Structure 1
Amino acid sequence: MTESDLIIREIKKSEISLLKKFTYTAIYVPQGAQKPHKSIVELPELKIYYENFGTKADDICLVAETGGKLVGAVWTRIIDDYAHIDENTPSLAIAVEEEYRSKGIGVRLLLEILRKLKEAEFSAVSLSVQKENFAVKLYEKAGFKVVKQNGGELVMVKTLGKV
């Protein structure tokens, strides 16, 4: 896969059902730990990331496509989740298929959704991440700051400037 093979675009309505799979992909599994059963995404605290996605005006999703295959997604919505800050700040979720990680896809997805959120005039975006997740460095580079720590989990917020 080359950089020019990768397309970042808005999700199509026909693809929204894939957010359930990407919610599972987004779950951080520490080195050597066993992956949870796929049914974990049926838990209410995870279902809110994908259930009825696209029905609220603040639901935004971008996907990474290469060779006709969706290999990553980033999406935001205002929900009462682990990263909830307030009723005006969307929570961000991001997932890249394992075999496509460390190729810059996550960076491109993140930067593009931050641009879209600015255009939509959101003042901030939040996310929740495990402290030992390598993605913490990506979020810090993108300007996210830790605002809360709960055990091994960090809540990070990025203030968005004007477009």
Structure 2
Amino acid sequence: MKYIIREMYPQEYPLLAEFLYESIFQRENETPFPKTIIQNPELQVYIQDFGTLKDDFCLCAEVDHKLAGAVWVRNIHGYGNIDDETPEFAISLFKEYRGCGIGT
């Protein structure tokens, strides 16, 4: 599969909501979480007003001119917080692009 990795454009930042949902671990045999789960404050910190904090940065994977995935960092107090100096890292691929080596 041919893909490119590039910086995400600010006008594409709203798509981080979809990537955030896709990044949530969900077991295959269980009922999926409702998409509204990303409205929870503990998840919103990953994407709300993305691009306004000094350490916000996002790369995306593009396949046939469509976004297939994203990896973004943000200095927040989320699930993987280490300290005030280390940004958190999130990576997400739409299901149809998983297993193709894009995330590596």
Please report the TM-score for the alignment, with normalisation by the length of structure 1. 0.62
Partner in structure 2 of residue 86 of structure 1: 83
- The structure 2 residue matched to 1:53, chosen from 41, 45, 50, is 50
Task: Say if 2:78 is the partner of 1:74.
Answer: no
Aligned-partner Cα distance in 2 for 1:54–1:61 = 9
- The structure 2 residue matched to 1:95, chosen from 92, 98, 101, is 92
Q: In structure 1, the residue corresponding to 2:89 is in which secondary structure?
A: strand
Partner in structure 2 of residue 44 of structure 1: 41
Considering fraction of residues, name the structure with more helix. 1
Q: How does 1:11-160 map to 2 (within 5 A)?
A: 11-107=8-104
CA displacement, residues 88-127 of structure 1 (integer Å, 9 cap, x when unaligned):
00101110000110000111xxxxxxxxxxxxxxxxxxxx
Number of corresponding residues? 104
Aligned-partner Cα distance in 2 for 1:76–1:34 = 29
Aligned-partner Cα distance in 2 for 1:6–1:84 = 31
Q: Which runs of 5+ in 2 are unaligned?
A: none
Aligned-partner Cα distance in 1 for 2:75–2:9 = 20
2:52 aligned partner, one-letter code: T
Which segments of structure 1 move beyond 2 Å, counting only runs of 4 or more? none
Q: CA-atom RMSD, angstroms?
A: 0.7
The percentage of aligned residue pairs carrying the same residue is 44
Aligned-partner Cα distance in 2 for 1:24–1:104 = 20
Q: Which runs of 5+ in 1 are unaligned?
A: 108-163
